[in-house]
Amino acid sequence: MNAPAYNFAYLDEQTKRMIRRAILKAIAIPGYQVPFASREMPMPYGWGTGGVQVTAAILGPQDVLKVIDQGSDDTTNAISIRKFFAKTAGVGTTTATDQATVIQTRHRIPEAALHENQVLVYQVPIPEPLRFLEPRETETRRMHALAEYGLMHVKLYEDIARFGHIATAYAYPVKVNARYVMDPSPTPKFDNPKMDNCPALQLFGAGREKRIYAIPPYTQVVSLDFEDHPFEPYRFNAPCALCGAENSYLDEIVTDDRGSRMFVCSDTDYCEGRQAAGHHGALSAAPYKDKAQGDANG
Amino acid sequence: MYVAVKGGERAIENAHRLLADARRGDQSVPELSLDQISEQLGLAVDRVMSEGSLYDRELAALAIKQARGDLIEAIFLARAFRATLPRFGASEPVDTGAMRVRRRVSATFKDIPGGQILGPTFDYTHRLLDPSLAEGFVPEAPATSEASTAPTPRVTDILGRDGLIESSPQAEEGATIGDLTREPLNFPADRDLRLQNLARGDEGFLLAMGYSTQRGYGRNHPFVGEIRFGEVEVEFVGEDVGFAVPLGAIELTECQMVNQFKGSATEAPCFTRGYGLAFGQSERKTMSMALVDRALRARELGEEALAPAQDEEFVLSHSDNVQATGFVEHLKLPHYVDFQSELGLLRKLRKEFAEASLEADASDGMKEAAE
Amino acid sequence: MTTIAELPPGFADKVLSAQSTFRSVMDAMARPGSVQRIVPMAGTAGSMMRGTAAIALTLFDHDTPLWLDARMSESSDVLKWLKFHTGAPVVQDTSIASFALISHGDALPPLERFALGTNEYPDRSTTVIIQVDSLDSGRSFELRGPGIDGVATLQASIKPSDLFVCLRRNETLFPRGIDLVLVADDAVVAIPRTTRIVNKGG
């Protein structure tokens, strides 16, 4: 039988070269979606194949990798992807944001400020911010070419007319370096301001849609809005029940069938770090134990 | 007191162990061998090879076994393996005219040179469940005769000799052959890429698209010029070798549709073509593919293109079942944080709506009181 | 005549050397003006610097048409080395090149002759790799743009001396344009099309 044999970080070198060239172009044209010949990966399309290909193309043995899904290192898909790279590239993994050199994420940007020696790799399902207004690639490509973004403003304004607010809560469109309108991936709009002038390089991979795009470090990223309806990040108004944080994005946890709720940090590393530093919330379990069981190398 | 959910890694491992157990089923029942799958579920193997773009019966059988008979999952396994293989180049075009034909039918002519050959087909079987197949069935030996040495020219070539059908488009000398697994698809796509997309496309999707053209959504008056199934030789010219080296034989099904004629003041009318090709015996797939290929040529042939099957971007963007199943199924992944953001917005809008209603009621009440 | 056996070697470890080189180039592109070092060593041919050779091994292949300046294209050692180690097709037409290798800036053709991409596909442009005398001494330049925290300063000895003046065309072309990679021995600086450069003299 044609038994499979796999390369370092899974991808063959020809594929890595192709992805690496696309990454360089993406960095040179901030916010522009570079088409690339996305490969069939050993996990399904829609489950992070774009992010996985970008990570596989940049990752080296010196890297320390963190993978989060919904802000957490211990969600099943994050574990699965972290294990994939621990196995195929033998890299060190971590759950600590500040110790990672490469962070692959789905749906969140870590709460801790990123630094210059980090690359944040986003998994993107639909890279085209105009797709919900215009399903045709030929049309949206023309709109980007002409920087013709009136339709997007019309859509946002229609929301205001109907609901009194811009009714986009996640995947909130941004303009990068005053040129390209870009989809930030389905992160909550709470995270949008973190993309602006960020010291870390941000790379976006959309496997099924075959696109790679980037925000270089220290690049202007502005959430679309109107003078009379400025962009507002949303956060549930409560401290984290575990660490008491007042400025982190919160998960809502349903605790019984009588309407009880609790709110805790979605960024588990941030929350654990605060608890370890002695911060407490109303419902914290102290001392915090069973830490980071999901870490493949831990 | 609350402790965040942990232990996902163990949960995954346990789920996979459970899957392995469920895949094997009752262990008192003998295990399926790959030969059994390849020999007795041959059409499933053909489909996995076609849509998996990987001609390897043994690996396709393994994929089917591993996927518990879920063919889209098996196609995915074949594709993921294929993606790791080095690409040495493209074979020489195969000559389906020289096919060692096992089955060959034409709906356009009663008799054709080389004859109509029914071969192994479900056609004309009565679809009655056959209890004798349940166990221990030994089929009668097939009827045999001396293999015919008569050539079996393609029906479209016969029509082509009289100029009754447009000639097959010829690639330019030295033109590179597109490969959508190596270059992302752009629109409008050239026909080589379109045919590659359709050949890898989901049989059910193409069937529905082809069917829709028959029901008036982009009719193209198809006749099955010919369907043939059999073996062809594959040859490869290595850059360093300089001559064609035979790689072996593969089984193919080819469908050539003869469609709606075209013509103009300057061009004599002639029939047009739709083309389908797949690994193994895959008639439904190749016929559907041929219908859709012809539908997608609408613009090129100066026809109005209003129906879904004629919409290149729509068809080619949604034909791939590995992409489609991944994205549909990804909805079961956690979406807590984006849902939470949406929930927050919805609560805010509802609160404002309720407040506005209260105010409206209050001012109505005041109005009434004033009247 | 050089036989294949006599060709200078490629990377000792293809996979990890390419990864390391790529990260240097990626960091250079992401932080314009910053000087990145290429660590892995490979053989070089003709007038090719070791940084250039490593970049070629990392990014070139059958899918990347390559344009060479006269000094490179007239050297059979360079041609053989590139063909054997990368397989990149060498083209005469600058406007279809994915990459251009300039052994010395004096031989740089007008930048607008390279592929600039289209407004629909600005990525279909040439990345021009230019070998320069020095990336740590010479005239001072101030760089601004994405990837730069305020202002970056580059000291470099570059030919042609008006290179950055020519590059101002990028400003009016954006999103079309060309991206530059400057190499001096093992040092690399990238100037993507978004970078604006002011000559500070010196």
pLDDT averaged over chain B?
Answer: 91
Chain A contact for B299, CB < 8 A? no
pLDDT of B3 reads 53
Q: Which of C15, C19, C147 sits opposite A216 (nearest CB)?
A: C147
Arithmetic mean of pLDDT, B168-191? 85
Judge: C29–A28 Cβ closer than 8 Å, yes or no: yes
Q: What is the pLDDT of residue A136?
A: 92
Nearest to A6 among B84, B186, B317 (CB): B84
Residue whose structure tokens are 């986003």: A122
Structure tokens at C161: 């001396």
Do the domain assignments include residue C168?
yes
Q: Does C124 map to a domain?
A: yes
Of A1, A75, A210, the CB nearest to B58: A1
Q: Do C146 and A32 touch (CB under 8 A)?
A: no
**Chain C residues in contact with A34 (beta carbon < 8 A):** 123
Other Cβ atoms within 10 Å of A213 Cβ, number: 27
Residue-number span of the structural domain to which C103 is assigned: 8-201
pLDDT at B176 over 90: no
Cross-chain Cβ contact C98/A21 below 8 Å: yes
**Is residue B297 scored above 50 in pLDDT?**
yes
C68 CA: distance to closest CA in chain A (Å): 19
Q: Does a structural domain hold residue C2?
A: no
Give B7's pLDDT tier (boundaries 50, 70, 90). Answer: low
Residue C154 to residue C142: CA distance in whole angstroms: 6
pLDDT value of residue A298: 35
Nearest CA in chain A to C181: A24
Per-residue pLDDT of chain C (202 residues; tens, 9 = 90+): 566 678 889 998 999 999 999 999 999 999 999 999 999 988 899 999 999 999 999 999 999 999 999 999 999 999 999 999 999 999 999 999 999 999 999 889 999 999 999 999 999 999 999 999 999 999 999 999 999 999 999 999 999 999 999 999 898 999 999 999 999 999 999 999 999 998 886 5
Q: Encode pLDDT of B53-87 as tens digits.
A: 999 999 999 999 999 999 999 999 999 999 888 88
Q: Decide if C137 is inside a domain.
A: yes
- The residues of A carrying an active-site annotation are 31, 240, 243, 265, 271
Q: How confident is the model at residue B362 (pLDDT cuts 50, 70, 90)?
A: confident
Determine the distance in angstroms separating the CA of A74 from the nearest CA of chain C, rounded to an integer.
28
Check C23 against A35: CB less than 8 A apart.
no
Residues across chain C: 202
Total number of domains constituting chain C = 1
Query: What letter represents residue C199's amino acid?
Result: N
Mean pLDDT of chain A: 91
Interface contact A218-C147, CB threshold 8 A: yes
Cβ–Cβ below 8 Å for C59 and A29: no
pLDDT at position A296 over 50: no
Of C16, C120, C125, the CB nearest to A61: C16
b/e code B329-355 from CB counts within 10 Å (16+ = b): ebeebbbbbbbbbbebbeeeeeeeeee
Q: Is the peptide bond before A230 cis (omega within 30 degrees of 0)?
A: no
Which runs of E-coded beta strand occur in chain B? 100-105, 223-237, 244-262, 270-279
Distance CA A102, CA A120 (A): 6
Nearest to A282 by CA among A242, A254, A245, A247: A242
Question: Do the chains contact at B333 and A190, CB–CB below 8 Å?
Answer: no
The answer to whether the complex's ipTM is over 0.90 is: yes
Interface test mutation site (partner A, options B76, B77, B335, B338, max chain A beta carbons within 10 A): B338
Interface check B66 vs A, CB under 8 A? no
CATH code where residue C17 lies: 3.40.50.11310
> What is the distance between the alpha carbons of residues B78 and B44, in angstroms, rounded to a whole number?
13
Q: Which among C17, C20, C29, C179 is the top mutation candidate for probing chain A, defined by the most A β-carbons within 10 Å of its own β-carbon?
A: C29
Long-range contacts of C11-15 (CB under 8 A, 24+ apart): C11/C40, C11/C42, C11/C54, C11/C57, C12/C40, C12/C41, C12/C42, C13/C40, C14/A13, C14/C57, C15/A7, C15/A8, C15/A13
Whether the predicted pLDDT of A287 surpasses 80: no
Burial class for C144, CB neighbours closer than 10 Å (0-12, 13-18, 19+): middle
Chain B interface test: which of A2, A15, A45 (most B C-beta within 10 Å): A45
- Residues of B with Cβ-Cβ distance to A46 under 8 angstroms: 326-330, 333
The predicted structure's pLDDT at residue C41: 87
Residues linked to residue A105 through DSSP beta bridges, in sequence order: A68, A122
Residue B276's DSSP bridge partners are B255
Domain for residue C98, yes or no? yes
Provide the angle, in degrees to the nearest 10, between the axes of the packed helices B191-200 and B283-296. Answer: 150
Contact by Cβ (8 Å): C64, A18: no
Pick from B229, B336, C186: which is nearest to A263 by CA?
B336
Quick one: which H or E segment has residue B283? helix B283-296
The two structure tokens encoding residue B118? 């029914």
Q: Determine the average pLDDT of the residues in A222-246.
A: 93
β-strand partners of A211: A35, A206
Q: Decide: residue B126, CB within 10 A, 0-12 exposed, 13-18 middle, 19+ buried.
A: exposed
Neighbouring CB atoms inside 10 A of C134's CB total 14
Min Cα–Cα distance to chain A from C25, Å: 8
pLDDT, tens digit, for every residue of B100-119?
999 999 999 988 998 899 99
**Cβ pair A142:C120 closer than 8 A:** yes
A79 and chain B in contact, CB less than 8 A: yes
Encode burial over C173-182: b for 16+ CB neighbours within 10 A, e otherwise.
Answer: bebbbbbbbb
- Whole-number Å distance between alpha carbons of C158 and C105: 7
* pLDDT score for A152: 92
Starting at the edge strand found earlier in the chain, the sheet holding C187-191 runs: C36-37, C187-191, C179-184, C127-131, C99-102, C66-68
Q: Do A27 and C192 touch (CB under 8 A)?
A: yes
Interface test with A, best of B341, B350, B351, B353 (most A CBs within 10 A): B341
Identify which of A26, A214, A218 has the shortest CB distance to residue C149: A218
Q: Are strands C179-184 and C99-102 parallel, antiparallel or unpaired?
A: unpaired
- What pTM value is reported for the model? 0.90
3-state SS, residue B278: strand
Contact C140, C155 (CB under 8 A): yes
Q: Please, what is the Cα angle at B279 between B278 and B282, to 5 degrees?
A: 65
Chains that touch B (3 or more CB pairs under 8 A): A
What does the longest C-alpha to C-alpha distance in chain B come to? 106
Cα–Cα distance, C59 to A16 (Å, whole number): 9
Structure tokens at A190: 């709470």
Q: What is the DSSP string of C51-105?
A: HHHHHHHHH-STTS-EEE-HHHHT-HHHHHHHHHHT-PPB-S-GGG-SEEEESSG
Question: B174 — alpha (psi -120 to 50), left (phi > 0) or beta?
Answer: left
In a domain, C3, yes or no: no
Give the DSSP per-residue string, A241-266: TTT--SSS-EEEEE-STTS-EEEEES
**Is C1 domain-assigned?**
no
Measured N-to-C along each axis, helices A13-28 and C14-30 cross at an angle, to the nearest 10 degrees, of 10
CA B332 to chain centre: 25
The two three-digit tokens of residue B335, written as one number = 């979406």
Q: Which chain C residue is nearest to residue A178, measuring alpha carbons?
A: C146
Q: In chain B, which residues have their Cβ closer than 8 Å to the Cβ of A252?
A: 340, 343
Cβ atoms of C161 and C199 within 8 Å: the answer is no
At A290 the pLDDT is 43
- Whether A145 sits inside 8 A of C31 (CB atoms) is no
- In 3D space, the residue among B341, B347, B268, B325 whose CA is nearest the CA of residue B51 turns out to be B325
pLDDT, tens digit, 9 for 90 and up, residues A49-96: 999 999 999 999 999 999 999 999 988 899 999 999 998 998 999 999
Compare all CA atoms of chain A with the CA of C56 and give the residue at the minimum distance.
A17
Instruction: Considering only the C-alpha atoms of chain A, give the largest distance between any 2 of them, rounded to a whole number of Å.
Output: 66
State the Cα–Cα distance between residues B51 and B343, nearest whole angstrom: 40
Q: Is residue C76 part of a domain?
A: yes
pLDDT at residue B265 in the model = 80
- In the predicted structure, residue A120 carries a pLDDT above the cut 50: yes
Look at B335 and A107 and tell me if their CB atoms are within 8 Å.
yes
Q: Can you give the pLDDT at residue B371?
A: 63
| Cβ neighbours of residue C155 closer than 8 Å, sequence gap 6 or more | C134, C135, C136, C137, C138, C139, C140, C141, C202
> Cβ of C149 and A13 within 8 Å?
no
Please give the pLDDT value at position A294.
38
Q: How far is CA A46 from CA A34, B282, B315, B339, C42, in A?
A: 18, 29, 19, 17, 39
User: Chain A partners of B8 at a C-beta cutoff of 8 Å?
Assistant: 74-76, 78-79, 294
**Contact assignment for B86 to A14 by CB distance below 8 Å:** yes
Picking from C20, C149, C179, the nearest residue to A28 by CB comes out as: C179
Residue with tokens 């790959």: B34
The residue of chain A with its CA nearest to that of C150 is A218
